[in-house]
Structures are given as structure tokens and as C-alpha cells.
Structure 1
Amino acid sequence: MTDVKAPTRAKVGPLLRRAAAMEAAMWRSLYVWARRRPLPLGPGDDPFGYLGVVKPILGIFIALSVVEIPIFDLIVTNVVPWRPARWIVLALGIWGLLWMAGLYASMQVHPHIVGDRGLRVRLSSGIDIWIPWTDVEALRKRYRSLPSSKSVQVEQEGERRVLYISVGSQTSIDVLLRRPTTFDLPRGRSEPMDELRLYADDPDGLLRSARGTPATGTVSR
């Protein structure tokens, strides 16, 4: 008899592991951010944030979470006769607030890094891509708005395959690669990519910081 539960377990297991890893990373980021210590940077490294485009939205969600906790506590206390319900709802509300704060913190403590040897593209704690300058043909400033809100997207443009690492459905830097390159993503290794597009709050500063590297094709448009 065929075990129909085996395919389900095969799908659910990796999903649960990714969720657990993401949860742990959120708490670590919140701890690091709360300590207010400088980012650990190497000689010649310049950090570039990407939080600006979603900062107002995250701020609104965090503020709403703060307001909701006492409101729901008051409602449950006066409406639900089962006393433990109050503590369950209170715990969920506090967890939700800390989770949103952890998401904000993870984007603060994991910026893009421009260094002497290459470009480190990051998104929260889930994406960390290293591209040496010897693999970069050019960097270009170009704002794009994407129809999808997914942070990681792949698009085929003719014969070229493009990887988007977007924030708030936007990108502002195009990284043209010298050869098709694969990258480690949350769901596994990507197909070979010809270009990577990312978002940075200060694309002009990122381009300036990258000048003088082997990526001599750096331009801004």
C-alpha cells in the first residue's frame, strides 16, 4: 500500500525548518539591534540600507500592534468567560509586536555591503549573496517598480535571465554579470542568472563606493 503521507511530509518538513530558521533569525536580529552596537564591517566596507521604502509601512504596523494589544485585552477580559483566553491573546499580541520589530531590526542589521573585493547583496536575514567584482560587468542606477510584491523574482528578458531582490516592489540598481551565475536563495540554488537587480536607498552612493574596483563598467543612468 502506498504511503500517501510521505509526499506531504517531504513538503512540510523543509517548510517548517525554513519557518523555524526565520523565527530564530528574527530574534537574533532583534537582540543585535537592541544592543545598538556598530555593524561588524571589514576594512574598506561601506554599508547601504534598503529599509527606507518600507519604513513607513512597518512603522504603521508596529504602531497598530501596540494599540491592538490593550484593546483586545479589554475585549477578551469582558467578553470571554474563559480566563486563560486573556493570557493567550495577550501572548499572541506581544509575539506579533516583537515579530514586526524583529523584521524591522533584521533589515537594519543586514545592509548591502560594498567592499574592496565585491558586492554583498542582502535582504533581511534570508538572503546573502556575494558577487566578486571580477564577475561584475557594470552597475547601473535605474528605478523599477514591479507588479508583484514578492521579494525574490525571476524574469526572462529575451535570452537573458534576471533575478530581482526587491524591497517594496522596487529595485534601484542593476548588476550586469560577465557570465551566467547561480545564487543561493531561500528555496535553493537558482538557475544561472545574467543580471541581478536590487534595491538600495542610496543608489548614487553605492555606485560611488563601487568606483575604483575591477567593475570599471560602472555607470549611472
Structure 2
Amino acid sequence: MAISSCYTDDMQEKHGFQMKILFRSLMLTGIFFELVIVLASVIGGGFPLQVVTFPLVLILVALGLLFSGMIRDRLACDSWASSLSKTARRFGVPRRALVLLVSEIYSITSFARVFNRVKPVQVGEIHTGYKNLRTVVFLIVGLVVVEIVVVHLAITSEIWRIVLFVSSLYALVLLLGFYTSIRMNPHVVESDSLKIRHGIRFSCVIPWEQVRSLKGVGAGQGGDIFVNEDNELRVPVLSEVNLRLELHSTVVIEDLYFGEAEITAVDFYCDDKKALLDSAKQVLDQ
């Protein structure tokens, strides 16, 4: 299968080079003048409000160009996994930084659904893959609550109390948002394909005609999503997988962190692997 045109289209190379120069010029100029103003203020002497805000305006314009470019590329490429590589090239910024930004935004927005229930799909059967994560998340939430109380009693400075409280609360929101994104994006067995998902980071659709075998496996090793040298994908939850899907030929998948890749097999986790295997068997026997 061919790699997405978002990775191979060079028609806008000249425009991308110009955008890279403009973005970097605005950012570096804004940061330089902001440092000069701060240094001059420390040495002595005030500045009019217009002078102080001028560098910030340059930085905000640069960020506005970046964010609008991210949205435009996302609409053109249909997924963040492919669009972020294009945006990173056009603006000359590290793709990893854009990935972390998108992940953080999605974690925050996912937090709003923390009490929502997983809705059944119109076609197919859902199979969740988050329950071994639930105990760890609830334990961390309890520890953070205890930490907030202890810090509040131990620290007398009101400013530091507020700073540490906000930091702990923000970390809690990100954690629960990540957990919610895993919970609200289950695997789906459909009549023509198997959809394997891992939160907002990873999603792939495997047509049944591409499947050579689907079976249970041991936990294995490694806690991160990665593709090995044999083009085998591993999608663990808390370092654990319990299902292995092998393919007749390579399939292109998209991952938010490393973009597109061609795979020949997938190891992934499901809360009830027997139920997923039974659902898949029913579809394949039809």
C-alpha cells in the first residue's frame, strides 16, 4: 500500500520554505527583543507598554501562523498522524513538539468525558482495552489528592500553595484525560474489518481479507507503541498485550507519535480476549 500523499507531496516546497523563514524570523525577533527588554528592566529603567507588548505580538503572530497551518494540514490530510509531519517540515519545528501539543489538547478535551459511558457502535461489536489501567489510574488519583492535602498543610507560603495545587490539578486532568481517551476508543469488530485503537494516539482498520491469523499471546515486553525491524507493531496497555494478529501482506497504519508505517503483524491488548476472538470467528465463519 502506498504511503499518504501528505508525506510525498512536494508541490508546496517553495511555499513551505518561505513559511519556515517567516515563522522563525518572527519567533526569534520576538524572543530577542523580549530578552533585551527584560534585561534592560533589571538593569534599570522602565519601558512604555507599547514597547513591552511589541515582542509578544510578534510571538503571538508566529504561533497563530503555526496553529492555523496545523489546522489546515489536518483538514487536508484527514489525520493528525500524517498532517503533523507536513506541518513540521513547513514551519521548521520539531514534530515531537507538535505531537506533545496535540496530545495535551486532546487529553484536556477528553477529561470532559471522564464520566461518560462508552456508547455502542451502530455496526459491529466493541471490545474495550483499559481495565488493567483503571486500578493504576485510581491509585495515582488517590495519591495526588493526599499530596495536595499534605502540601497545603506543610507549606506556609500562599503563592507556593497555589502553584503546587494548580500543577497537581493540571497533571490530574492530563492523567484522567489520557485514561478517558483509552476507555472511549475501544476496539471494534465489524463485518468487513477489525478496528484496533489506543486512545487518540493510534487507530488502524484491518480488512478481514488481510488477516492470516488472530490468536491469544503472552504479555511480552515493552510498554510503548512501536514497530520492530520485522514490521511487527506492538500496542500494549501497561506493557501488556494478549492478542496477536498476523497479516497476509503489509498494511499502512498511522500513529500520532511516529506517523505512518507499514506492518505485517499487530500485538495488542483487550480486556476480554476470548470475547473478541469469538466475535472475530463469527464474522469469519459467515
Query: Structure 2, unaligned stretches of length 5 or more?
Result: 1-23, 29-88
Distance 1:119-1:19 versus aligned 2 partners, 3 A rule: same
Alignment of 1:29-48 (within 5 A): 29-34=110-115, 36-39=116-119, 41-43=121-123, 45-48=124-127
What is residue 143 of structure 1 aligned with on the other side? Answer: 218
Partner of 1:219: none
C-alpha displacement of 1:55: 2.1
Pair 1:205–1:107, CA change in 2 (3 A): same
Residue in 1 that maps onto 2:143: 64
Report SS of the residue matched to 1:68.
helix
Q: Secondary structure of 1:143's match?
A: coil
The SS at the match of 1:42 is: coil
Q: Structure 1 CA distance, aligned partners of 2:177 and 2:240?
A: 22
Distance 1:26 1:106 in 2: 7
Cα offset, 1:203, TM superposition: 0.7
Greater RCO (Cα-Cα under 8 Å, separation 6 or more): 1
Unpaired runs of 5+ residues, structure 1, are: 217-221
Aligned with 2:131: secondary structure? coil
Of 134, 137, 143, 1:55 maps to 134
Q: Structure 1 length as normaliser, TM-score?
A: 0.80
Q: Aligned ranges for residues 170-185 of structure 1 at < 5 Å?
A: 170-185=240-255
For residue 128 of structure 1, what is the aligned residue in structure 2? 203
1:188 corresponds to which of 253, 259, 273: 259
The match for 2:187 is: 112
Bigger-Rg structure (1/2): 2
Q: Which amino acid aligns with 2:111?
A: L
Quick check: 2:249–2:264 contact (8 Å CA) kept in 1? Answer: yes
2:235 & 2:182 partners in 1: Cα distance? 13
Segments of 4+ moved more than 4 angstroms: none
Q: Does the CA-based 8 Å contact 1:66-1:97 persist in structure 2? A: no
SS of equivalent to 1:41: coil
Contact 2:214 2:243 in 1 (8 A): yes
**Do 1:173 and 1:203's aligned partners in 2 also have CA atoms closer than 8 Å?**
yes
Structure 1 residue matching 2:283: 3-state secondary structure: coil
Aligned letter for 1:188?
A: G
Q: TM-score, normalised by structure 2?
A: 0.63
Tell me the matched-pair count. Answer: 197
Match of 2:49 in 1: none
Whether the 8 Å contact between 1:58 and 1:100 is mirrored in structure 2 is yes
1:167 aligns to what? Answer: 237
- RMSD of the TM alignment (CA)? 2.2
State percent identity of aligned pairs: 19
Cα distance change on mapping 1:38 and 1:107 into 2, 3 Å:
closer
Question: CA-to-partner distance for each residue in 1:117-168, whole Å, 9 max, x for gaps?
Answer: 211111121111111112212211112321x222x12234xxx431111111
Bigger helix share: 2
* Structure 2 contact 220–240 (Cα < 8 Å) conserved: yes
Q: 2:280 aligns to what?
A: 210
